[in-house]
Structure 1
Amino acid sequence: MAGINEKPDPPISAYQFKTNLFDIEKSTEEGKKRTFTGVAYSGEVIQSHYYWGDVIFDLDTIKMKTPLGALIDHDPGRRAGVVRSTTNDHQNGLKVAGDLLSNKNGQEVAQDSDEGYPWEMSVYIVPGSIEVFEKGEVVVNGRTLKGPVTIFRNGVIREVSFCALGADDNTSAVAASHTPKQFNKQEDTDVTELEQLKADNQKLTTERDNAVTELKQFKETKRTEDIAALETELKTQFSAEDKTAYTAMDDSTFAFAAKQLRQFSVGGQQTPSTTQSNQTNPVLAHLFTHQANSGQAGAGQAQGSTLDHAFNQFAAAQK
């Protein structure tokens, strides 16, 4: 039974198909253009394509206008030749013939071929319509096929390319000739492994982000507890502004600030004769006492200088 393919828009690589090797004529005369021939499509079913499954091009409706560009690896910036003529029948498939350009790309193809390099043809075809036969039989290119099979109708070949063997092992193309299934199974395996690697990478990224969030929450909770413990120890209540400042400190700065506050509180408990307003922070009361008595001589003066120095250290740490 036939149906219209409802897959999402495929990547460009799904329309690029490897075919057979190019036959590049050996150089015979000085200045004569080098020619090439090849089978752009054999007419057989392309088995186990990574995107389409089993797929076949309808040779009766296929279109290929000449002259047609011949590129290297489907790169428009690497023009290497021109297809001048084509032949098309069910028995021999779609054959092409053309000549190489005299530019560096054409010379590269010719020179590598002369040294024995097996350039492989790849075609870029854009189908006019795509039919999917899930069940039953259908005749295409004189061959009776059983579903499921995908049929490209009214396909237009936009260009052919000289490709290095193995250049498309990322499944950007598969052989558009009668190719054993094992080759395409390996491509399917590569695609599956790539998808698995992407999934594993996403999982690791999520786990890392969750761990960072948990660590941040733990540190915030720990700092809140440390501030509350410091208030209890010093028998004071920090303002909301002070708590915000202490929360924003890194661990070393907060530890230093807490140490200084403890030192300021030592000996700074108020006596009845020196009791100040309840609004005065008892942590700083001792500093105020020594600043008020800074004119006295002896040990008190030395002690006041020491505390002033400690307070300056604390203030510098806050900055």
Structure 2
Amino acid sequence: MPEQNEERLKYLFNASAIEVPKAEEGQKRKFNGTAYAGGRVDGHWYWGRSGVVFDLDGIEIDRPTALLEEHFSSSRIGVVREVDTNGKINVSGDFLTNTKAQEIVQDSDDGFPFQMSMMIDPGSIEEVAQGKQVVVNGQTFEGPVTVFRQNRIREFTICSTGADRNTSIKAFSGKSNPNPTKEETDVTELEQAKARIQELETQNKQFAAAKREAEITALAKDLGKEFSAEDIAEMKTLDDSAFAFSAKQLRQFSASSQPPAGQQQQQTNTVPAHLQYLFSHQATGGQGGQAGQGQPQGSALDQAFAQFAAAQQGAHKS
């Protein structure tokens, strides 16, 4: 489905569960629900914990009004026939007979908890500061709170979840005048900061994993070999410094094991003394000190890498 733009998302609010009564003989399947309970709607991803109140005085709602799926105009599933705005917004209507509408009806019959949502278009927005009061819909609200006035409802929709994670809508049913404290607002800001930190950490981990994949691919190309799944798993667990050091040593070892034609390779000139125990089998070939007998170079390189990676992994864990 197409992505919702952020400006539009600011005015989408989830409401309470929608009810789908059993069908009456010869009639269309109907629905009813409370799109707005008349109080403060808090926890919205954009308007925050301080909440929003929708002034019902003079609100405009087309009759009939479209009922959509997840706010997408291409997913027409029903028609809102009746609207009651006396202190709250209660709606009722019937479903269409298309395939998508019937799927929702069937899922509802099977017990899926659909919820209703709406898009509200305010003519003006009033910000009530902390310590101030405002009367809306016969109720008194203490600031901070945002009040939408001269409102128009453009659409109603059915959502699969109470807070639509795909479009970042995080609103809940209107509650009668819950007044959040400064501490609650601070907690919300802290939660948002923690969520942002977690998001950045996830992105960093994904970047590091992609970088390590590229480094492993480059190392395999330089060594002219294909690593086993076990080798790759070991390399992914090494920290950056351990991997860089082991890759450098393996490249040096691979280069030193291929001397110019006619020249005797002197391994001790290439491999550091404290690491020779890892690579000594490359010179002996595992055959009583006779170099190159019964063991191809690639196999020796595999064993050298395995021993080296195991040593580095053990050092890293300790």
* Alignment TM-score, normalising by the size of structure 1: 0.55
Distance of aligned partners of 1:26 and 1:206 in 2 relative to their CA distance in 1, 3 Å threshold: closer
SS in 2 for 1:150: strand
2:35 corresponds to 1:34: no
Residue 118 of structure 1: CA displacement?
A: 2.5
What is the one-letter code of the residue matched to 1:86?
V
Matching residue of 1:195: 196
Aligned partners of 1:196, 1:181: CA distance in 2, in Å? 28
Matching residue of 2:142: 146
Distance of aligned partners of 1:202 and 1:148 in 2 relative to their CA distance in 1, 3 Å threshold: same
Matching residue of 2:295: none
Residue 147 of structure 1: CA displacement?
A: 0.8
Aligned partners of 1:187, 1:89: CA distance in 2, in Å? 32
Matching residue of 1:86: 83
Flag the structure with larger Rg: 1
Residue 156 of structure 1: CA displacement?
A: 1.8
Aligned partners of 2:97, 2:111: CA distance in 1, in Å? 20
Aligned partners of 1:163, 1:181: CA distance in 2, in Å? 27
Matching residue of 1:164: 160
2:119 corresponds to 1:124: yes
2:69 corresponds to 1:72: yes
SS in 2 for 1:144: strand
8 Å CA contact 2:115, 2:162 repeated in 1: no
2:13 corresponds to 1:14: no
Deviation sequence 1:214-257 (CA, Å, 0-9, x none): xxxxxxxxxxxxxxxxxxxxxxxxxxxxxxxxxxxxx99x99xx
1:45 aligned to 40, 60, 78, which one?
Answer: 40
Q: Which runs of 5+ in 2 are unaligned?
A: 213-251, 264-318
2:106 aligned to 100, 104, 111, which one?
Answer: 111
Percentage of identical aligned residues: 35
Matching residue of 1:99: 94
Moved more, 41-50 or 197-206: 197-206
Distance of aligned partners of 1:50 and 1:114 in 2 relative to their CA distance in 1, 3 Å threshold: same
Residue 109 of structure 1: CA displacement?
A: 2.1
What is the one-letter code of the residue matched to 1:162?
I
8 Å CA contact 1:70, 1:83 repeated in 2: yes
2:59 corresponds to 1:58: no
SS in 1 for 2:24: coil
8 Å CA contact 2:14, 2:115 repeated in 1: yes
Aligned partners of 1:164, 1:208: CA distance in 2, in Å? 33
* Alignment TM-score, normalising by the size of structure 2: 0.55
Distance of aligned partners of 1:95 and 1:134 in 2 relative to their CA distance in 1, 3 Å threshold: same
Once the two structures are superposed, the pairs formed by residues 213-252 of structure 1 within 5 Å of their partners are none
Structure with greater strand share of residues: 1
What is the one-letter code of the residue matched to 1:61?
G
Q: Which runs of 5+ in 1 are unaligned?
A: 1-8, 212-250, 264-319
8 Å CA contact 1:169, 1:187 repeated in 2: no
Distance of aligned partners of 1:42 and 1:205 in 2 relative to their CA distance in 1, 3 Å threshold: closer
CA RMSD of aligned residues (A): 4.1
Aligned partners of 1:103, 1:201: CA distance in 2, in Å? 41
Aligned partners of 1:145, 1:85: CA distance in 2, in Å? 29
8 Å CA contact 1:68, 1:158 repeated in 2: yes
Number of aligned residue pairs: give it. 217
Distance of aligned partners of 1:28 and 1:58 in 2 relative to their CA distance in 1, 3 Å threshold: same
8 Å CA contact 1:13, 1:173 repeated in 2: no
Aligned partners of 2:138, 2:154: CA distance in 1, in Å? 25
SS in 2 for 1:43: coil
What is the one-letter code of the residue matched to 1:87?
D
SS in 2 for 1:80: strand
Deviation sequence 1:8-48 (CA, Å, 0-9, x none): x9543332111111122211214x21111111111110123
